[in-house]
Amino acid sequence: MAIELPGSGTPRQLHSRVLQSPLAGVSDKVFRQLVRCWAPDALLFTEMVNATSLELGHGRGKVEELAQERGPIGVQLFDHRPASMADAARRAEAAGAFLIDINMGCPVRKIARKGGGSGLIREPELASRIVEAVANAVRLPVTVKTRLGWCGSDADPVLWCQQLERAGAQMLTLHGRTREQGFKGDADWNAITAVRRALTIPVIANGDIHTPDDALRCLSQTGAAGVMVGRGTMGAPWLVGQIDAALEGWPIPATPGPLQRILLARDQLLALVEARGDHGLLMARKHMGWTCTGFPGAPQLRHALMRAATPKDALALLDQQRLALE
């Protein structure tokens, strides 16, 4: 069953119940294209986009490249200034965003300290004004990704999320941890259940979903409309598609074996170098480190890849390992 989002004149339907989380420094165009190979219908996101930077002309590539991609792609914005957020949302809408998501959950200190991301949890009135400003600026659905609260002692996720719904959020993705927890401890799926029962808009569960079985258990426990996966996809772009298949009752695609992982790392390296030049190698190193696992010699290969001086050197290492596995 599709998730219906009415928007303010431009309705959207989500035909997949699994979403790929925005990941700073990870979920760029190259990564999204890999995820899309396994998950043609899933909602993917750009990396977080700073509204003020976009207004000043920085980071526009993250938004303007959307027209070149297939499938639904949302733009996630963060900032603490309602007017800047509204302006950035209009730019994203014009560029072809599927929907606009507002980040109110990023726990990174430098972002929260400036009032963005999870910092807005401590400023609920400002958070509401931001949602209202963005919702009034675009025809697209406006959604929010957030956390249970700032810390355990003062967290009231039901009250917090009800406020976001009243402000105009049409879907809410809830990470089952507080900002104080970061990514420590277990995600509180019971708290997500309580929020889902209190809201009338779709709630997407996020946190501790690393396998198709995790997703099935989470939806069974929370009754959420869908799940969002994030860190579990680093080095595993096939995970979104595997979860999508599990939720639909389809055969689950096999996890790539050693040779397939090497070929995947090679393709990602070439794509990043084509897009970013030699800087693409720096970006590819972390991806190759995550992907090149689970076979004899993998630790040594990762060690060598991290020290490859040029893309040509890295390709030679991958090709050498490929020949050894064939």
Can you state the percent helix, strand and coil of the chain, rounding each to 5? 50, 15, 35
Structure tokens at 297: 């010699």
Please give the Cα distance from 194 to 301 (Å, whole number): 46
Please give the Cα distance from 29 to 270 (Å, whole number): 13
pLDDT exceeding 90 applies to what percent of the chain? 90
- Angle of helix 157-167 relative to helix 124-137, nearest 10 degrees, comes to 30
CATH number belonging to the domain at 3-248, selected among 3.20.20.70, 3.30.565.10, 3.90.550.10, 3.40.50.300: 3.20.20.70
What's at 134, amino acid-wise?
V
Secondary structure of 2-34 in HEC code, one letter for each residue = CEEECCCCCCEEECCCEEECCCCCCCCHHHHHH
Please give the Cα distance from 116 to 247 (Å, whole number): 33
Around Cβ 319, how many Cβ atoms within 10 Å?
12
Q: What DSSP character marks residue 181?
A: T
Q: What are phi and psi of 324, to 5 degrees?
A: -70, -25
Mean pLDDT of the chain: 95
- With bands split at pLDDT 50, 70 and 90, how would you rate the model's confidence at 307? very high
For 69-105, what is each residue's pLDDT tens digit?
999 999 999 999 999 999 999 999 999 999 999 999 9
For 117-140, what is each residue's pLDDT tens digit?
999 999 999 999 999 999 999 999
Instruction: Say if residues 36 and 71 touch (Cβ distance below 8 Å).
Output: yes
Task: Assess whether 161 carries a catalytic annotation.
Answer: no
Q: Which of 108-117, 132-141, 277-286 has the lowest mean pLDDT?
A: 108-117
Instruction: Say if residues 207 and 176 touch (Cβ distance below 8 Å).
Output: yes
Of residues 115 and 191, more confidently modeled = 191
DSSP bridge pairs for 101: 76, 143
H/E stretch holding 47 reads none
Closest CA relative to residue 291, chosen from 241, 243, 236 = 236
Q: Which of 52-66, 113-127, 203-217 has the lowest mean pLDDT?
A: 52-66
Q: What are phi and psi of 94, to 5 degrees?
A: -65, -30
Q: What average pLDDT does this structure show over 205-223?
A: 98
Q: What average pLDDT does this structure show over 289-311?
A: 96
Closest CA relative to residue 81, chosen from 44, 54, 110, 63 = 54
Residue 42 neighbours by CB under 8 Å, 6+ apart:
16, 18, 19, 20, 35, 36, 71, 72, 240, 241, 244
Does residue 153 register a pLDDT over 80?
A: no
Does residue 193 register a pLDDT over 90?
A: yes
- With bands split at pLDDT 50, 70 and 90, how would you rate the model's confidence at 67? confident
Q: What per-residue confidence (pLDDT) applies to 113?
A: 86
What's at 40, amino acid-wise?
P
Q: What per-residue confidence (pLDDT) applies to 272?
A: 96
Closest CA relative to residue 246, chosen from 211, 196, 281 = 211
Please give the Cα distance from 210 to 234 (Å, whole number): 10
